[in-house]
Amino acid sequence: MHRVGADLTNQRLNVHDTRSMPLNGVMVIDKPAGWTSHDVVSRMRGLLRERSIGHLGTLDPMATGVLPLVIGKLTRISQFYEDSEKAYDGTIRFGFATDTYDADGDPVGEAQIVQVKLEDVERLAGEFVGKIQQMPPAFSAKKIKGVPAYKLARKKQEVELQPVEVEVLEFAITGAEGDCCGFRCRVSSGTYVRSLAHEIGQQMGCGAHLASLRRTQVAEFGLAEAHSLDEVGSAAAQGSLEIMMFHLRRVLPGIPSVTADDETLGKIRHGCAVNLAEFSGAKLVKVFAGQSDLVCLASRVAGSLFHPKVVLI
C-alpha cells in the first residue's frame, strides 16, 4: 500500500499567507489515489496555515474523489454529517478475493479465469439493494475492545466483527468486460463498498475484490465542487483561497436559512434565545450575518423561540 504521509512532514511549502483573518468554511477536495484522508488533512493544514481541519467521511487510500473538509470554526458542523449518504463509481474484478477486499490487499485462494456476464452481475447487484446486514472487512477501522480491527488483522490475530445494518439505495452495474464490471452505487453512512464487491464474488463462487473506487458525492458535496491539492496550493500562493470555498448558504440544504439583524446577532453572541417567527415549524435554523457569514445553528425550544445550538462567532 502506497503511503505518502511520512513524506508530507518533510515538504517545505512556499506559500505566502496573505490572510488577515482566520479561514473558516468548507472546501471539497478531489482526493488523489495513494493518499489517506489524514494525509490530505495534513497537507491542507500546511497549505491553509490552519490547524483546525477535519473531513466528513474517510476514503480508503486506493479511492479517489470527494473529500469535504471543514475548516476553522466550521469543524463544529461535522456532527450534522454523521449519517450522510454517499455515492460512488467503481470497478469490481472477479476471479480472486483479497484479504482487504480491494486491490491493495493480498490475494486469497486460487485465481480463476472468469468471463463476466452482465445479466448475472446485474441480478446479484439487485439483491443487495435495500437494508442489509453487512460484515465489515477485517482490515477496517471498526474497533474490537478499543483496538481498530486492521491493527489486529495486520498482526494475523483473530478479528471477530459483528454484522451491521446498512442501506444500499442504488447499486447499478454500468458494464461488463472480461473479468471486470463497472458499477454505480449510493449507500448509507457506514457502508463498505469493498464489502459489497467481496460478497458479490462469494455469490458468484469465484471471488472478487474492489479494483477501483471514485466517490462522486457526500451529502450535498459533489465532484463539480471538488478541487485538486495543486489547485488549492496555487490559490493559497495567490491569496485567493476564499473563491474555492463552498458557499455556506448551500451547506445543510435541508435546514432553512435566515439573515439576522444586529439585535438578533447580539443576543446570539451572548447565548440568548431569539424569536424567529417565520420558522416556527422548523427544528433547526441556519442564522447568517449578511449573505455568506454563517454565525450559528439554532434549535427550536417552543413555538418560534430558538436557542443557539452551535455558535460560530
Q: How far apart are CA 214 and CA 223, in angstroms?
A: 10
pLDDT exceeds cutoff 80 at 147? no
Same domain for 34 and 66, yes or no, is yes
pTM, 2 dp = 0.88
DSSP state at residue 311: E
CATH number for the domain spanning 234: value is 3.30.70
252-259 mean pLDDT? 94
118-142 mean pLDDT? 89
Residue 135: exposed, middle, or buried by beta-carbon count in 10 A (0-12, 13-18, 19+)?
Answer: middle
CATH number for the domain spanning 271: value is 2.30.130.10
pLDDT of residue 151: 65
| Tally of domains in the chain | 3
Are 64 and 161 in contact, with CB atoms under 8 Å apart? no
Same domain for 124 and 13, yes or no, is no
Q: How far apart are CA 226 and CA 222, in angstroms?
A: 7
Same domain for 94 and 150, yes or no, is yes
Cell of 35: 493518499
Same domain for 207 and 134, yes or no, is yes
pLDDT tens digits, 151-189: 656 766 666 778 889 999 999 999 999 999 999 999 999
pLDDT of residue 279: 82
Same domain for 104 and 205, yes or no, is yes
pLDDT of residue 244: 94
Of 188, 213, 238, at which residue does a domain stop?
213
pLDDT tens digits, 273-307: 999 878 878 999 999 999 999 999 999 999 889 99
5-11 mean pLDDT? 40
Catalytic residue among 39, 60, 102, 104: 60
Q: How far apart are CA 277 and CA 134, in angstroms?
A: 45
Which residue type is seen at 255?
Answer: I
pLDDT of residue 281: 82
pLDDT exceeds cutoff 90 at 263? yes
Same domain for 192 and 286, yes or no, is no
Same domain for 100 and 159, yes or no, is yes
Q: What are the CA-CA distances from residue 278 to residues 284, 296, 297, 304, 305 (Å)?
A: 12, 17, 16, 7, 11
Structural domain of 297: 254-311
Q: Which residue has the higher pLDDT, 255 or 9?
A: 255
Same domain for 274 and 174, yes or no, is no
User: Does residue 60 have an active-site annotation?
Assistant: yes
What percent of the chain is predicted at pLDDT more than 90?
Answer: 79
Same domain for 68 and 100, yes or no, is no
Same domain for 162 and 100, yes or no, is yes
215-238 mean pLDDT? 97
Q: Does an H or E element contain 185, and which?
A: strand 180-187
Same domain for 34 and 140, yes or no, is no
Local confidence band at 109 (pLDDT 50, 70, 90 cut-offs): confident
Same domain for 80 and 136, yes or no, is no
Phi–psi pair at 100, nearest 5 degrees: -100, -5
CATH number for the domain spanning 205: value is 3.30.2350.10
Q: How far apart are CA 40 and CA 182, in angstroms?
A: 27
Are 95 and 206 in contact, with CB atoms under 8 Å apart? yes
Q: Which residue has the higher pLDDT, 20 or 253?
A: 253
